[in-house]
Amino acid sequence: MGNETLLADKMNTLNRMTLLRIKELHKDMEYRYYIESFGCQMNSHDSERIAGMLEEAGYIKAAVKEEADIILFNTCCVREHAELRVFGNVGALRELKEKKPTLIIGVCGCMTQQEEVAKRLFKRFRFVDIVFGTHQLTQFPSMLESVLHGERVLNIDGAENVPEGIPIKRDGVFSTNVNIMFGCNNFCSYCIVPYVRGRERSRSHINIINEVEELANQGFIEITLLGQNVNSYRSPDSDVTFPQLLRMLNEINGIKRIRFMTSHPKDLSSELIDAMAECGKVCKHIHLPVQSGSNRILEKMNRRYTREKYLSLVEALRDRVKGVEISTDIIVGFPGETREDFEQTLSLVETVGFSTAYTFMYSPRKGTVAAKMDGMIDPSEKKRRLLELNELEAHILKKNNVKFIGSVGDVLVEGYDERDGDIWLRGKLSNFKAVYFKGSSDMVGRLIKVEIIDTTNNSLIGRVVQ
């Protein structure tokens, strides 16, 4: 057992004792929690860990904020808009606290890992009881205990760790997320994530395999492996790489689908493409953020690949992984982006034909390299470029969707709506395309064979194949 694991074990024992003390304190009444996630899948998955700890302390999930005895906001700061949303939402809790003074309010996550922001929030909102960042998750039980004893807690210290062994209360019942690594070393010049999530650290492949086996036993059939750059995963025990990990997970009985995100183009290896092609459970979809189609801008972004390299990866993927779909992230209006640079992005989008493009206006983040660059683009120009790009993507998507008509594939059904007396199921193909089709509610959580018969603007319409 490595030192890390021993330390984690010791911490978990202490935490469990603290959670039991809180449970004892609360034994005469029901206490409820409400957690809202403002960020990415990593952020939601951290919320599932906090929920796991709260449930171990005897709390139960509240359906709405108004019912809760503790409210936690798990924040994001990747763009300015995300931060402003949190400040607005926290402000709106004042009224609830006035009505119920025993209510505990906490703010955590990436935004409050930034010292200055955490302090500002703590000072401005006196009714907030706990503020902590991303590295203090393992200290949550003791922070909560202090608050229950009447203290206010601001805690943004704490080493970057690999949080093993924390109980997790998962939102899903057949599909769920599994962290394979934490942090990021890439320092793309626009991005705050490495500053608020710390350096890259991978989990042991043994712990990951154990977790996925356990999930399979609990009935989960789809897992999504999470990391800021899964392609640079390396097990600390034995140098197991990401493609090797995929091959190991592919052998686990009960698991039917394996997804992963995110992949950085600079680290996408041909071993990974082989693993995607050869592992039956690994889905035929890759999220491969390109960010820009202009080499000049890619260099300023510190992405460490060129447009040509990206296009050659797309070609290799399509060549070797039959039926693969590629989605992406794109930033418009990066400092110094000219009309010509932007047109390079448009032409790349046209060439590749992404299945989905998540598009963003560049948002300066304090402390990053790009925030100090010359040539900031006017917000109205950024908006114009975003609209133009979105229009093009919508047009391409509509055109590309037609190629699926007549194809047959398995859809993992996520849920349904009732419309005009019919049950309309929704779910995803292996390639991550969304499909809607008529069926019965007992199909939720199962893989159903569907033929695509029509398309809408964003998704596909199918019918069950008997």
The reply on whether position 268 binds ligand SF4 by CB under 6 A is no
Q: What is the DSSP string of 164-203?
A: -S-----S-SSEEEEE-EE------TT--HHHHH-S-EEP
Q: Name which of 366 and 463 has its Cβ closer to ligand SAH.
A: 366
Q: Name which of 21 and 304 has its Cβ closer to ligand SF4.
A: 304
Q: Which of 51, 53, 72, 76 touches ligand F3S (CB under 6 A)?
A: 76
Q: Which of 184, 208, 249, 332 touches ligand SF4 (CB under 6 A)?
A: 184
Q: Which of 15, 18, 136, 228 touches ligand SAH (CB under 6 A)?
A: 228
Calpha distance 338→345 (Å, rounded): 11
Instruction: Give me 260's structure tokens.
Output: 């992963």
Q: Name which of 256 and 287 has its Cβ closer to ligand SAH.
A: 287
Q: Which of 363, 401, 430, 431 touches ligand SAH (CB under 6 A)?
A: 363
Residues shown for the chain: 466
The reply on whether position 93 binds ligand SF4 by CB under 6 A is no
Contact 74, 46 (CB under 8 A): yes
The reply on whether position 97 binds ligand SF4 by CB under 6 A is no
Instruction: Give me 107's structure tokens.
Output: 């703010």
> Quick one: how far is CA 38 from the chain centroid?
10
Phi and psi dihedrals of 208, rounded to 5? -65, -45
Judged by CB under 6 A, how many residues of this single chain contact ligand F3S? Answer: 12
Q: CA 236, 239, 242: angle at the middle one, nearest 5?
A: 100
Identify the bridge partners of residue 105 per DSSP, sorted by sequence position.
71
Calpha distance 143→131 (Å, rounded): 9
Calpha distance 389→39 (Å, rounded): 23
The reply on whether position 289 binds ligand SAH by CB under 6 A is yes
The reply on whether position 79 binds ligand SAH by CB under 6 A is yes
Identify the bridge partners of residue 329 per DSSP, sorted by sequence position.
358
The reply on whether position 188 binds ligand SF4 by CB under 6 A is yes
Calpha distance 367→372 (Å, rounded): 8
Half-sphere exposure of 188 (CA within 13 A, CB side): 25
Cβ-proximal residue to ligand F3S, closest one: 39
Identify the bridge partners of residue 182 per DSSP, sorted by sequence position.
201
Contact 49, 85 (CB under 8 A): no
Which residues from 52-71 bind ligand SAH, rule CB under 6 A? none
Give the residue from 210, 193, 198, 202 showing the smallest Cα distance to 232: 202
Q: Which of 177, 291, 356, 430 touches ligand SAH (CB under 6 A)?
A: 291
| Residue 110's binding partner out of ligand SF4, ligand SAH, ligand F3S, none, with CB under 5 to 8 Å set by partner kind | ligand F3S
Q: Which of 14, 20, 25, 40 touches ligand F3S (CB under 6 A)?
A: 40
Binding segment (CB under 6 A) for ligand F3S, from list 38-46, 61-69, 364-372, 437-445: 38-46
Calpha distance 68→64 (Å, rounded): 7
Calpha distance 390→372 (Å, rounded): 28
Which residues from 184-203 bind ligand SAH, rule CB under 6 A? 190-191, 193
Q: Name which of 207 and 228 has its Cβ closer to ligand SAH.
A: 228
Give the relative orientation of helices 41-56 and 140-148 as an angle to the nearest 10 degrees: 60
Instruction: Give me 89's structure tokens.
Output: 């939402």
Half-sphere exposure of 175 (CA within 13 A, CB side): 18
We find the least distance from the C-beta atom of residue 261 to ligand SAH, in angstroms, to be 8
Q: Which of 103, 110, 137, 144 touches ligand F3S (CB under 6 A)?
A: 110
Q: Which of 51, 54, 78, 223 touches ligand F3S (CB under 6 A)?
A: 78
Q: Which of 33, 38, 342, 362 touches ligand SAH (CB under 6 A)?
A: 362
Binding segment (CB under 6 A) for ligand SAH, from list 68-76, 198-206, 360-368, 441-449: 360-368
The reply on whether position 365 binds ligand SAH by CB under 6 A is yes
The reply on whether position 187 binds ligand SF4 by CB under 6 A is yes
Residues that bind ligand SAH (CB under 6 A): 78-79, 190-191, 193, 228-229, 262, 264, 289, 291, 329, 331, 360, 362-363, 365
Residues that bind ligand SF4 (CB under 6 A): 184, 186-188, 191, 193-194, 228-229, 264
Residues that bind ligand F3S (CB under 6 A): 39-40, 42-43, 76-78, 110, 192-193, 196-197
